[in-house]
A = this chain, B = another copy of it.
């Protein structure tokens, strides 16, 4: 079976590696060049989305910020999973919040802002502090604001209004104001849903971010009651989208009560640990779901941690004696994810020890989340 992935990055690459043993041939549509490429070898297989669609049995995506015309032509083919609506929802904060409400899952109070009246209403109704984010992808780092009690509300509105007027996405753009949630930790849940509505859900992963980029994910066992909350919300959201494929949901944990932060309609960085830690990894389960093959078990085999390799850092080969290194064959650039490290152990405590051992081989300023992650497990 032939699978076309929209996007030719590391997620398509890892899908191709997971698909090969199943005789699934994965190619990728590079949205920048318009080329069809093999996501591992980067061999150019052809060019043009129409050709890619014609040649594929199934189409899927590795990211959600995809031009609407690309999505609609894929949807029209009848081969696209999880499909246009799911991808649009993952890429548009306004649609995403509406979905969370429709699915009846707990999420932060919010207000859609398209005018000064909306802005004033958000301040009056939700109160300060407020987090404001553009609904669609921002550009050049723009599209995020924080309103604190001492902020100059008028100046920030001028900036937001300027942003809305000049957004390349035009009238589809807006800003979502959300209540500030003082969460204890961020966890995520990855799961697969097939066309029949069957689910295979992995155990919760606890995520540590550094400078806004995922740094370490740990799947070492979680509270059953928290896992149950997450699974119920996962099912509600996935069913509401009639979702087919792997879906990721990020939650805030506030005193043991979960609140959905955001969803990603695709395989997710916080699920990379499943390559070594779960019976069947997220990449294979995504392919199984979109290709109509039986889902594989999402059971965790043993406590596992994932460490992102971001930017121009040094990873000595000695790390390989203790861990699984996954490189993406990408040129290092500041802030760019170029690989990850999976680390397994027989118990949560032993995983803490293993993280500690690996942290001795890596620079503290390049991997600042390692030591806290190790300490939290012991």
Contacts and interface: CB of A to CB of B under 8 A. Distances in A.
Interface of A: 13, 17, 20-23, 38, 40-41, 43, 279-280, 288, 293-296, 301-302, 317-318, 320-321, 324-327, 329, 344
A22 to B, nearest CB: 6
Contacts of A20: 13, 17, 40, 329
Contact of A320 (B293, B302, B321, B325): B293
B344 A321 contact: no
10 contacts: A17-B20, A17-B21, A20-B40, A21-B324, A22-B325, A22-B327, A38-B43, A41-B41, A294-B317, A301-B344
A318 B318 CA distance: 41
A302 B277 CA distance: 12
B23 A288 contact: no
A186 to B, nearest CB: 26
A76 to B, nearest CB: 28
Nearest to A296: B320
Given A17-B20, A21-B324, A293 B280 contact: no
A372 to B, nearest CB: 26
B23 A327 contact: yes
A354 to B, nearest CB: 11
A210 to B, nearest CB: 23
A293 B325 CA distance: 12
Contacts of A288: 320
B327 A21 contact: yes
Given A17-B17, A41-B41, A327-B22, A293 B279 contact: no
Contacts of A22: 320, 325, 327
Contact of A38 (B13, B41, B317): B41
Nearest to A291: B317
Contacts of A13: 20
A329 B344 CA distance: 31
Contacts of A325: 21-22
Q: Point out which of A41, A43, A325 has the most chain B C-beta atoms below 10 A from its C-beta.
A: A41
Contacts of A329: 20, 23
Contacts of A326: 21
A213 to B, nearest CB: 20
Contacts of A40: 20, 40-41
Nearest to A320: B294
A349 B39 CA distance: 41
Given A22-B327, A40-B20, A296 B280 contact: no
A174 to B, nearest CB: 40
A329 B21 CA distance: 8
Contacts of A321: 294-296
Contacts of A280: 324
A94 to B, nearest CB: 38
A295 B317 CA distance: 10
A64 B321 CA distance: 29
A52 to B, nearest CB: 16
Contacts of A17: 17, 20-21
A335 to B, nearest CB: 20
Contacts of A302: 301
A23 B325 CA distance: 9
A97 B264 CA distance: 59
